[in-house]
Amino acid sequence: DGGITQSPKYLFRKEGQNVTLSCEQNLNHDAMYWYRQDPGQGLRLIYYSQIVNDFQKGDIAEGYSVSREKKESFPLTVTSAQKNPTAFYLCASRISGTSSSGANVLTFGAGSRLTVL
Amino acid sequence: AQKVTQAQTEISVVEKEDVTLDCVYETRDTTYYLFWYKQPPSGELVFLIRRNSFDEQNEISGRYSWNFQKSTSSFNFTITASQVVDSAVYFCALEGGSSNTGKLIFGQGTTLQVKP
């Protein structure tokens, strides 16, 4: 079955360490996204990529970095510069452009929960 | 600026009750898209419905129904005869039509607890 795989599901990090969250999709989607979820704040966009080798900052990109070397993969690195990294991270993807019904729908992975010790 | 507000942080109902989740949005785009997603305890967001700004027709899907009113900038979601499996966090989201980037603006989410 096609879908999005995020790993690891749970991750613990010591302060000052960089960590990388993996996101892989086999949906042949062009665009991929990283969202951060905090209690009571909904989801906020960190980075997105609409095509291989290109990506744009979202609303809260500071302290994060991404790469898009392959269509299927969009890893997120949480750097030591991120002041409050403890959160639930969700990766999503979709086909670019619009369908006859309008904007294409985002498909989400199951998420990665990062805790800083 | 675009914004989505879900004023209800938490709702608790008893099974078989009807429940309405409110969503109010702000946008200057004339073309835009509204979504509802469900997040069960497993964490993955599940798509429920998409509505574009030109289609104000209400929609019913089984026990779920959606009421879109442009005049009040609202896109409310009603669950009829709620069940324990409906317990989840529900998100309303907005995408402006001018950008076509897939950037969704999410509301804060409403946690629905359905008690047996």
Give A8-37 pLDDT, tens digit per residue: 999 998 888 999 999 999 999 999 999 999
Cα A49 versus chain centre, distance: 10
pLDDT for the residue A15? 86
| Spans of chain B below 70 pLDDT | 98-100
Q: Name the pairing type of β-strands A10-13 and A112-116.
A: parallel
A10-22: b or e for each residue (b if 16 or more CB lie within 10 Å)? ebebeeeeebebe
Out of A35, A90, A97, the one facing B100 most closely (by C-beta) is A97
pLDDT for residue A88: 96
Using a CB–CB cutoff of 8 Å, tell me whether A30 touches chain B: no
| B45 vs A90, A94, A96: nearest CB | A90
Supply the pLDDT for residue A100.
61
pLDDT of residue A52: 95
Give which of B106, B21, B4, B103 is closest to A43, Cα–Cα. Answer: B106
Low-confidence stretches of chain A (pLDDT < 50) are none
> A2 CB near a chain B CB, below 8 Å?
no
